[in-house]
Structure 1
Amino acid sequence: MWDRMVVEKMEEYIGEYTVACSFQNVEDNFLWAFAGIYRPTSDSSRNSLWEEVAGLHSWWELPWYIDGDFNVVRFPSERLGDSRLRPAMSNFSDCIFDLGLVDLPLMGGAFTWSNNQPWSKLDRFLVSPEWESHYSEVCQKRLPRLSFDHFPILL
């Protein structure tokens, strides 16, 4: 799944909503963590997700990035035709703020999902400032959608 000549996996964690690993770069010994998000769909599940992510953050205390289909937008502008700020949006933004994460700008389009319903930005990469500093050229880019309802995103 990763090139062992580039990174060495140190630890792993499989939670209810996340799969996470800590890594060490072979070239410069930089230690960092990654978490991939499963798609919780209810507000109560999302609150459990935010708690799980906060626990991972405190467990490793490393520069890190998180990606996945969060199945929630942060702002009404991230859902075409929606102008209401909902509690789930505020909770998502609060989690990002509380963990000190950076929501990278999305290049190549504003939305990542549509299934014959309003276009939304459900998928994203979130990074810690330390991770972003180490990879100063980092950006996320929406790629062309082939056949699924989600656009792939490249970090």
Structure 2
Amino acid sequence: MCRKGEFVISAMVRSLADDKIRKVSSMYGPQEVEDKIKFLEELAHLGQQVQVPWIINGDFNLVSKEEERSTRRINRRTANKFRHTLNSLGLHDMPLAGRRFTWCNG
């Protein structure tokens, strides 16, 4: 079963290793602030429906803390909503390994 949203594509997959079903979602977060809020609402709605282990990958294009940005400029409204969404869904942001930032202009 596959589901395509505005920012997320999800599928139910069965592991060949243990025969268990998991939900896998790939996403790409938008650049515009208004769209970021819509993205987080879509993620929250999707997460409320998950009944099996859930794996998410992709680029959220959001930060939850000021130190995650090279310029230290952060939209506190979207950062707070991002943190709240992650916490309410019980999601954990994997730490970046080997680099300080995922992207830097210059």
* TM bracket, shorter-chain basis: 0.7 to 0.9
Identify the structure with bigger relative contact order (alpha carbons < 8 Å, sequence gap 6+): 2
TM-score normalised to structure 2 length: 0.87
Gaps of 5+ in 1: 1-10, 117-155
What is the DSSP-based 3-state SS (H/G/I as helix, E as strand, rest coil) of the residue aligned with 1:19?
Answer: strand
| 1:110 aligned partner | 100
- 3-state SS, counterpart of residue 34 of structure 1: strand
Gaps of 5+ in 2: none
Q: Does 1:51 align with 2:41?
A: yes
The number of aligned residues is 106
Alpha-carbon RMSD across the aligned residues, in angstroms, is: 1.7
Larger mean CA deviation between 93-102 and 56-65 belongs to: 56-65
Query: Deviation per CA, 1:45-97, whole angstroms, max 9, x where unpaired?
Result: 11211121122222232211212221121110001131656111111111100
Runs of 4+ in structure 1 deviating by more than 6 angstroms, as ranges, are: none
Structure whose CA Rg is larger: 1
More strand by share: 1
Whole-angstrom CA distance in 2 between matches of 1:84 and 1:23: 36
TM-score, L = length of structure 1: 0.62
